[in-house]
Amino acid sequence: MADSFWSDADRHLVRYSGAGRFTPEIIERAEGSFVYTADGRRLLDFTSGQMSAILGHSHPAVVATVQRQAATLDHLFSGMLSRPVVELARRLAGTLPEPLEKVLLLTTGAESNEAAIRMAKLVTGRHEVVSFARSWHGMTQAAASATYSSGRKGYGPAAPGNFAIPTPNSYRPDFTTPDGELDWRRQLDYAFELFDAQSVGSLAACIVEPILSSGGVLDLPPGYLGALRDKCHERGGLLILDEAQTGLCRTGDWYAFQRDGVVPDILTLSKTLGAGLPLAAVITSAEIEQIAHERSYLFFTTHVSDPLVAAVGNTVLDVLQRESLDRRAAELGAYLRKGLNGLKEQHDVIGDVRGRGLLVGLELSSDELGAAVTRRCLELGLHMNVVQLPGMGGVFRIAPPLTSSPAELDLGLEILDRAITDVTAGGSMGS
């Protein structure tokens, strides 16, 4: 049966990642921090699915909500409203600082970023967009045009007016202070000198992640976000923060921007909001929404304001609040980083450990090791994701569910330790 499964997959599935490879396991079910394969293996999931399942897989409260809501009200015409939608909008606004209070509920991160960029362009009457050179914001038109980490070649012209600026990387700094540290202020000044030389004076928005995930789990230095906001506002643009992976407690705060005290003009949420189900949001101020409305803002989709996933979003907020998962993410994140730093002391190939809360990056010093360690981890029962970008070693994105136990984190650290040992020692690659 496994042979026919892979034969059918090879014959009928479109390969949608650049590498064109699927994980060589048939997944039958998932529960908590683990996924289970068709041949009875249990894999510890250190990526929360697609960096999304912050409550683990098949959380009982989410399962109950899906069963109840699907049986009563799942989908509506886009112009109709239901109680779960209005309740989620109200509750999301309640978790955010003023003036963020107007909410648009969508399905994916790309979709929410597309809607946010479209709103910024309409409200400002401008078209230029600035994002990081290692950014990932999605695969739809405007989101893809603001994405530079991969996927730009071969698809024709990107949307006009898109500009990349250098990504601040404290581990591999390009602009440095006399003591060798990253001089991000000089880097940022230089970035906007280049932008100003190319711009036609029509900046609509800067869109960034507070911690770049696909870019290598790069945390913006304290103070950077405020300085970027000022650069953006000085040129008439809006600041859009993409918190697809950092929002809703993962970093130890409800939102990553809270560390810096910088409130964006537009906030986008996705992955973590549905805890693995397709739910996203665009959140902005009443003032910006009013201008957009007066100018006939148009962005609706088949599944805009769907009640089923909105009900799930309310349940996600219930669990996050009831179990204080922001505090738990901070505590577990400190525990995980301590363990990873211990591995760093044992393995010369580990160059850096970074991140916040339960979004942690582990950078290997060699590009070649990443894929081999990933394969060995899978053989040993740990699912890991490695980002391999030019000029960087392999960077593991480690993002376990916020509901993980210390014992599960210990298991992941133990397997990772063994995998690195096996690969660097040239040991057996079998089980």
Question: How many angstroms from the chain centroid is the CA of residue 87?
Answer: 25
Q: Which of 111, 114, 128, 209 is catalytic?
A: 209
DSSP 8-class letter at 180: S
At residue 342's C-alpha, the angle toward residues 338 and 348, to 5°, is 135
Beta bridge partners of residue 240, listed in sequence order? 207, 266
Which of 128, 242, 253, 352 is an active site residue? Answer: 242
| Contact yes or no for 415/377 (Cβ under 8 A) | yes
Determine whether 74 is exposed, middle or buried from the number of CB atoms within 10 Å of its CB (0-12, 13-18, 19+).
middle
Candidates 272, 254, 255, 273; CA nearest to 264 is: 255
- Asked if 128 is an active-site residue, the reply is no
Catalytic-residue membership of 271:
yes
Sign of the CA dihedral with 283 first, then 211, 136, and 376 last: negative
Number of H helices, E strands in the chain: 13, 17
Which two tokens mark 81?
Answer: 């409203």
First to last CA, the chain: 22
Instruction: Report the distance separating Cα 364 and Cα 350, nearest Å.
Output: 5
DSSP of 381-409: TEE--EE--TTS--EEEE---TT--HHHH
Q: Is 345 a catalytic residue?
A: no
- Of the residues 253, 363, 397, 422, only one is catalytic, namely 397
The answer to whether 245 is a known catalytic residue is yes
Closest residue by Cα to residue 357 from 301, 401, 319: 401
The DSSP letter of residue 107 is S
48/43 Cα distance (integer angstroms): 12
Catalytic residue among 45, 245, 260, 376: 245
From the list 121, 271, 328, 354, the catalytic residue is: 271
Whether 242 sits among the annotated catalytic residues: the reply is yes
> Helices marked H in 155-285 — which ranges?
184-198, 224-234
Residue 321 designated active-site: no
The residues assigned a catalytic role are 136, 209, 242, 245, 271, 397
